[in-house]
Structure 1
């Protein structure tokens, strides 16, 4: 068995879904389980409709996701009434939100779920009519029971047994087309695992079902040496270790959801990232023990929209437990820290949670002088051989400085596989371009072979 996840761009229209059909048909002997995202743009339209309903502006926004889905049904030549029950349910839900003028996390998950629930039914219908028997399934029908953390739900302990039993009952002659991104809690309330979470759904199912591998089908040739939208010369990385891919996913790589790799790592199931538009390409295989990579570096990633909190106080000096107090405040305001640097009298830390950081800053002013800065980006160079190359960090910083980019913070742990810098959002393009030229292009100083792992 293999689990094949197709993202929104892979199921965006009939042309793309025809490619998906051909890919799944070619894998039929491997017992594929297909996990699908919503059609491209539908989830954004649903979220906008929910927000508009909460503000009382219902009519025009409500129509957008329904009309786009109707257009896709017509493109696929599905029965025009295939999704009428969903359109009616969605309309009732948005009207209810507009009446109370309140959009709770639970209601937002409910609205957001319609994208995947509608797409799997349209895709299954299209595949069946084109010679590949398929059936749509909401993932909760297959044992995917979650907790009640709306917007970031995770499966409850022991869910895997129910999942395996549910899949064992499915007809062997049909391809399951399963909703990604969504779930249900024990109370029967719809939850989501977070935006772009269909990758995570696929990885969790792969682990539960002991799949041969999990395939993530997207619109790039696997994981790349940099964001192709920023660096036109970005190259494919054929083999990666889980720890390298996890660092890249967390620090902004657009290919994988940050949590995708955890279930695969714990089950030791390879994750293969492939291009729906070029299925013949080898893509990237991510596994525990990867093929040797002679380059010092693997890839460059960035994570924009960071805010920085700087706390300066002499009360830190030789004070046991001061940092514990700071992190207790951050924890209460749900601030997830990405970078941190400390001295005897100051702390600098970053987070993408601006509201939480602002709330924490108000409390921490009782302990010293606090500054907040916004519009920053984390820029990270990942490579399994970074600790083995003396002076590489210096050359990275020189390269960034040569591009006229100021580095405001640095983080590099002992034996770390990532070298992390904080820069201005506006400088991402220049910094990534110069680093890619230096580290990955033939004339760069770091492209010559080095020691293997």
Structure 2
């Protein structure tokens, strides 16, 4: 069971989490827990790290430490009064380490990726101590484990580390023994290299941690506890009548998470898929709701489209030039240059004339992408590089689309009637996803139009 930041946001939330764990243990389940930082804490750690690096004046390190300490101490005393004094000693040790690294960064005026990972892992270092103490207060034996102690070994790519295969036997040997008579609480979002250097798994990486731990212990199921009732047909903040999807396939869930659905981390599904472990998404604040279950083969109802999502904060890069036509090595030059610049390409589209290639990249990667393409232009491969930041990507997802005629026609006819202009189209070979680019101002309209077109608010499973 993984509990997100809002699920452990305050003393009432943590008490609710303890109650959920107690209930399922009483039903005979052996449970391992992965926990995120308390809501807002990781963002604060990012902010203070940036501030101490750039501040010419004395940065507010002491004020920050005092504030973080008070927040966690207050919650700890509420949920585990008998454990509070002992646990605060451990928390103070961690806060002392945090203070020291922040001071060192300010003195050096340098924040390395390695130092940043160390700093932003502290949210989980603190929350796991509190949840574990709350479980002990409830009479459940519990031990907090950081990523290293739990056996999560990663490569050295700080900020978005990849978990290595040697993690599985380590997790199995370290976590399972603690489950027989208690509940281990693993700090999410973090692992370590083979040399013991702290790494983080990227934003929302606690989901990935949960999948890695679940696969490592050969769990019957992996449960992601969050603050929504499950995976929705679309973003409920935009589509008021968005519906919970009871069952969805691994492939559909991966496509949705990659294209902006925030319920699951994009890498969460892969470890579960390799072991065939169902992933269940549940609401901590409405635990009686059935939630969504991600399976190898989900139940197929009469609709071919399962969900529609979109990503903003992306940019469109267009490459043009007649010299690209029929010339071997153009694609290699383009994508080698992008890779060497650390640019992740989210979507690709190429015209049959071979004279134009369009790419979608994250806004944060735009400058690096344009710089890389300007170098390729100097090499004579392309004539012109242009970009547009005012765009978003809409993705229509459903395994039922594979082999079903007329789906693309319905999509683009509906958009045409709504006067939504499509700037770029891409479809994967699995046919489970049709994604396209529209102007940012048209993104929400496109979402509503297609949600209505495919009647996703209606429950057709009956």
TM-score scaled by structure 2?
Answer: 0.91
How far off its partner does 1:438 sit? 2.0
Over 3 Å counting, the alpha-carbon distance change for 1:256 and 1:24 in structure 2 is same
Deviates more, 1:278-287 or 1:163-172: 163-172
Q: Which residue of 2 aligns with 1:100?
A: 108
Query: Residues of 2 paired with 1:301 and 1:280: CA distance?
Result: 26
Q: For structure 1, which segment, 317-326 or 230-239, has the greater mean C-alpha deviation from structure 2 after superposition?
A: 317-326
- What residue ranges of structure 2 are gaps of 5+ in the alignment? none
Is the CA contact 2:242–2:456 (under 8 Å) kept in the aligned structure 1?
Answer: no
Cα distance in 2, alignment partners of residues 165 and 449 from structure 1: 42
Work out the CA distance in 1 between the residues paired with 2:312 and 2:243.
22
Give the equivalent residue in structure 2 for 1:18. Answer: 15
Q: Which residue of 1 aligns with 2:60?
A: 60
Contact 2:61 2:103 in 1 (8 A): no
Report the CA distance between 1:294 and its aligned residue. 1.8
- 2:367 is aligned with 1:370: no
Q: In the TM superposition, what is the alpha-carbon distance from 1:47 to its structure 2 partner? A: 0.6
Contact residue 61 and residue 99 of structure 2 kept, 8 A: no
Alpha-carbon distance in 2 for matches of 1:384, 1:178: 34
The Cα of 1:157 is off from its aligned counterpart by 3.2
Q: 1:309-329: per-residue Cα shift (whole Å, max 9, x none)? A: 111111112212222222221
Alignment of 1:21-420 (within 5 A): 21-28=18-25, 29-56=28-55, 59-60=59-60, 63-64=63-64, 66-77=66-77, 78=80, 79=84, 81-82=88-89, 83-170=91-178, 172-343=180-351, 344=353, 345-352=355-362, 353-366=365-378, 367=381, 368-414=383-429, 416-420=431-435
| Gap change, CA 1:320 and 1:404, over 3 Å in 2 | same
CA deviation after TM superposition for structure 1 residue 426, in Å:
3.1
Distance in 1, matches of 2:440 and 2:154, equals 36
Match of 1:9 in 2: 6
Decide whether aligned partners of structure 1 residues 448 and 236 sit closer, same or farther in structure 2, where only a CA change above 3 A counts.
closer
Are the structure 2 counterparts of residues 168 and 18 from structure 1 closer, same or farther at C-alpha, using a change threshold of 3 Å?
Answer: closer
Deviation at 1:241, TM superposition (A): 0.8
Across the two proteins, how many residue pairs are aligned to each other?
Answer: 444
Q: CA deviation at 1:62?
A: 5.8
Asked whether the equivalents of residues 337 and 350 of structure 1 are also in contact (C-alpha less than 8 Å), the reply is: yes
Q: Distance in 2 between matches of 1:237 and 1:58?
A: 51
Deviates more, 1:259-268 or 1:76-85: 76-85
Q: C-alpha separation between the residues in 1 aligned to 2:261 and 2:65?
A: 28
Per-residue deviation, 1:390:
2.8
Partner of 2:451: 436
Contact kept in structure 1, 2:61 and 2:102, CA below 8 Å: no
**8 Å contact from structure 2 (residues 300, 400) kept in 1:** no
Query: Against the structure 1 CA distance between its residues 408 and 143, is the aligned structure 2 distance closer, same or farther, given a 3 Å change threshold?
Result: same
Distance 1:311 1:112 in 2: 38
Paired residue secondary structure (1:150): coil
RMSD: 2.0
- TM-score for both structures, normalised by structure 1: 0.93
**Alignment deviations for residues 69-109 of structure 1 (CA, whole Å, 9 cap, x no partner):** 52232134152634111111111110001000111100100
Q: CA deviation at 1:358?
A: 2.1
Q: Output the CA distance in 2 between the equivalents of 1:172 and 1:395.
A: 53
Q: Distance in 1 between matches of 2:147 and 2:212?
A: 11
